[in-house]
Amino acid sequence: MKLARVAVPDLVSNSYFPAIAAVALGFFAKEGLEAEHKLIFPNYKAYESLRDGDVDFVAGPAHVVLRAFPEWEGVKLLSALAQGMYWLLVMRADLDAAPGDINAVKGRTIAAAPLVEMPLRLMLSESGIDCDRDGVRIISTPGAHRPGVSSGVLAAEALEAGLIDGFWANAMGAHNAITRGVGKVVLDIRRGVGPKAAFHYTMPVLVTSDRVIERNPDMVAAGLRAVNAAQRALKKNVGLATEVGRKLFPPAEAELIADVVARDLPYYTPGISDESLAGLIRFSQAMGVLKRSPSREQMVATQFSHLWDA
């Protein structure tokens, strides 16, 4: 069997779960590929590993591609792991912060992983919030530098310990904070709680390099089919998420993952729309990490897009 190496920046997470599940549930093996996932944090290092030829696929945030592949040169999106902005703003449960109240961040310390904070910063700016003027401190999640940790899970722990006032992280972190009674969701862009324009800032994607496509297009197609099959399988039976969690996650998160993934299932479609690409380009240009406006063919491996509907 050929080996397919899949980098993920956060393993104990719902964010990149279809790719993780495709490995753990044997969908890569069904495509004739031996597969392994490699936890590479922070997220930009996963893309650097793809650039350097150390992995074949990355499951990660779309906008972070540009950190390793400036101006979208040498890289292609294969599919969406899910649609839309997938991080949530969670604030301390004792704060007077209502759902949708973006001003709740004023005077507060908010934790976020490296480059994950970029959508939060633009969303605040486009909502009229100036971090310096309004006393918003956005810091790295305490302890996230340690190898093998989950940023979202650590953020929930930091909130419970009183080290931060809120965090911007995945739904696993949010679910942890809520079930412990220490946090509440203030912004959930996917579900219309917060600025609508932020939905297409970024999304979780499956990515490969032009070099990998040129060297082994059959492996790329097989890997894409495997991840798409995992998306469909989870939509049919979300209980499979618990099976994956028990193989890979700490016990507490293993029992939570099916509930968290169930919330995401309406967004588990692999297609990449022109609207989502336009939003990603606008966001990247606004953040100063992209100068050009690359075409769809430059950003997406369109020769494989027919597999989205397979």
Q: What is the pLDDT of residues 33-91, one digit of tens each?
A: 999 999 999 999 999 999 999 999 999 999 999 999 999 999 999 999 999 999 999 99
What superfamily would CATH give domain 88-200?
Answer: Periplasmic binding protein-like II (3.40.190.10)
**By the 8 A CB rule, do 149 and 141 touch?**
no
pLDDT at residue number 149: 61
Instruction: Give yes or no for residue 177 having a pLDDT over 70.
Output: yes
Q: Which 3-state string (H, E, C) describes 148-202?
A: CCCHHHHHHHHHHCCCCCEEEECHHHHHHHHHCCCEEEEEEHHHCECCHHHHHCC
Position 289 confidence tier, pLDDT thresholds 50, 70, 90: very high
Give residue 143's pLDDT. Answer: 77
Does domain 2-84+202-309 fall under CATH 3.40.250.10? My reply is no
Over range 177-198, report the average pLDDT: 96
DSSP 272-292: --HHHHHHHHHHHHHTTS--S
In the DSSP assignment, the letter for residue 271 is -
Q: What pLDDT is attached to residue 1?
A: 78
Mean pLDDT of the chain: 95
φ/ψ region of 114 (left if φ > 0, alpha if ψ in -120 to 50, else beta) reads beta
Sheet containing strand 137-140, edge to edge, reads 137-140, 109-112, 166-169, 88-92, 183-188
Q: Indicate if the pLDDT at residue 286 is higher than 80.
A: yes
Tokens of 267: 């967004």
- Per 3-state DSSP, the chain is made up of helix, strand and coil in percentages (nearest 5) of 50, 20, 35
In angstroms, the CA 120 to CA 110 distance is 10
| Paired residues of 8 in beta bridges | 39
- The model's confidence at residue 133, banded by pLDDT at 50, 70 and 90, is very high
Predicted confidence at residue 145, as pLDDT, reads: 62
**pTM for the structure as a whole:** 0.96
Side-chain half-sphere of 68: how many Cα atoms within 13 Å?
A: 24
* CATH 3.40.190.10 segments of the chain: 2-84+202-309, 88-200
Closest CA to 204 of 10, 306, 13, 59: 59
Mean pLDDT, residues 150-179 taken together:
90
Q: How far is CA 154 from CA 106, 172, 177, 238, in A?
A: 22, 10, 10, 25
Structure-token pair, residue 160: 């419970």
Kindly tell me if the per-residue pLDDT of 146 is higher than 70.
Answer: no
Tell me the CB-side half-sphere exposure of residue 198, using CA atoms within 13 A. Answer: 27
Residues 252-275 have pLDDT tens digits of 899 999 999 999 999 999 999 999
Per-residue exposure over 188-213, b if at least 16 CB sit within 10 Å of its own CB, e if not: bbbeebbbeebbbbbbbbbbbbeebb
The percent of residues above 90 in pLDDT, for the chain, comes to 90
Beta strands at 33-39 and 2-8: parallel, antiparallel or unpaired: parallel
Give the residue-averaged pLDDT of 288-294.
Answer: 98
Residue 2's pLDDT is 86
Mean pLDDT, range 123-133, rounded to an integer = 98
Q: CA 183, CA 263: separation in Å to the nearest integer? A: 18
| CA distance linking residue 37 with residue 57, whole number of Å | 9
Q: What is the mean pLDDT of residues 198-215?
A: 98
Instruction: Tell me the C-alpha distance between 306 and 310, whole Å.
Output: 7
